[in-house]
């Protein structure tokens, strides 16, 4: 038993002692660096590669082509890594159609208060009418709790897929009727991704232009 424990400890120490340090730099200093799926920060980074192991590196920045590298330390069948490496990421021209169809926005993925002077019945009717003008399907609608959730609207571009939905909740305070509206905007880094593949999407800080007028319309018509 002691021999097994010693071998385990020795193996761990050997991996640590003989680890290879690689100085990694990225052409865009604010690009995010991921190692084996975990974000480690931005450029520059010192990557520690354990002995006889490999690390998978991915460099991401919105509007740029994602770059991937694999570095191995004394692993059979793989070249030795350089002491220093520069990863140059290039602008993704295919994102132009996405950017033309979207706008940088402070309304993505945040709660926005909508005040109304309407009665609850009139406000609810207007909410339903406005939302169905942008979304074909209301996935959940519950007047008694003042809750609406649309289904996902999906739009695929050359290299990415955007999904959008809206959630509305009653936010009553001081005897006044209010609603909280959230436009949920998410991106997957592949085209033609199903809206059901939740793990492939991440929050996107832009909103497709087709939804730009949604909040102003709610604010104006529910006054």
Tell me: the pLDDT tens digits for 29-66? Answer: 999 999 999 999 999 999 999 999 999 999 999 878 88
Contact at 8 Å (CB) between 173 and 107? Answer: no
Per-residue model confidence (pLDDT) at position 42: 96
Q: How far apart are CA 107 and CA 86, in angstroms?
A: 36
Separation of alpha carbons 71 and 56, rounded Å: 7
148 and 131 Cβ atoms separated by less than 8 Å: yes
- Quote the mean pLDDT of the chain: 88
Asked if residue 185 has pLDDT above 50, the reply is yes
Range of the domain at 187: 97-221
Q: Are residues 26 and 121 in the same domain?
A: no
CA distance 95 to 103: 13
Q: Which of 58, 75, 91 is the last residue of a domain?
A: 91
* Higher pLDDT, residue 177 or 4: 177
27: tokens are 């052409």
Q: What is the pLDDT of residue 13?
A: 54
91 band by pLDDT with thresholds 50, 70 and 90: confident
d(CA 200, CA 193): 8
Q: Tell which residue, 33, 36, 41, has the closest CA to residue 54.
A: 36
Q: How confident is the model at residue 5 (pLDDT cuts 50, 70, 90)?
A: low
Domain boundary among 91, 119, 142: 91
With cut-offs at 50, 70 and 90, classify the pLDDT of residue 7. very low
Asked if 36 and 101 sit in the same domain, the reply is: no
Where does a domain end: 52, 71, 91? Answer: 91
Instruction: Render pLDDT for 195-217 as a digit per residue (tens, 0 to 9).
Output: 999 999 999 988 999 998 999 99
Q: Looking at residue 18, what DSSP letter applies?
A: T
Q: Is 74 exposed, middle or buried (0-12, 13-18, 19+ CB in 10 A)?
A: middle
Domain count, the chain: 2
Indicate the SS3 state at residue 111. Answer: strand
């Amino acid at each position: 038993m002691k021999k097994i424990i010693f071998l385990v400890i020795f193996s761990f120490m050997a991996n640590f002692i003989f680890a290879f340090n690689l100085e990694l730099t990225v052409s865009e200093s604010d690009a995010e660096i991921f190692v084996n799926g975990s974000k480690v920060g931005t450029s520059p980074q010192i990557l520690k590669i354990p002995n006889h192991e490999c690390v998978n590196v991915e460099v991401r920045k919105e509007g740029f082509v994602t770059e991937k590298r694999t570095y191995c330390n004394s692993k059979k069948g793989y070249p030795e890594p350089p002491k220093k490496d520069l990863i140059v990421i290039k602008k993704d021209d295919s994102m132009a159609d996405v950017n033309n169809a979207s706008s940088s926005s402070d309304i993505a993925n945040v709660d926005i208060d909508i005040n109304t002077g309407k009665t609850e019945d009139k406000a609810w009717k207007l909410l339903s009418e406005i939302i169905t003008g942008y979304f074909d399907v209301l996935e959940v609608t519950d007047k008694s709790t003042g809750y609406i959730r649309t289904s996902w609207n999906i739009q695929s571009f050359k290299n990415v897929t955007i999904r959008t939905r809206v959630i509305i909740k009653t936010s009553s305070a001081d005897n006044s009727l209010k609603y909280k509206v959230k436009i949920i905007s998410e991106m997957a880094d592949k085209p033609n991704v199903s809206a059901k593949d939740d793990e492939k999407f991440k929050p996107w800080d832009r909103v497709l232009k087709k939804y730009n007028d949604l909040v102003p319309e709610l604010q104006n018509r529910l006054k």
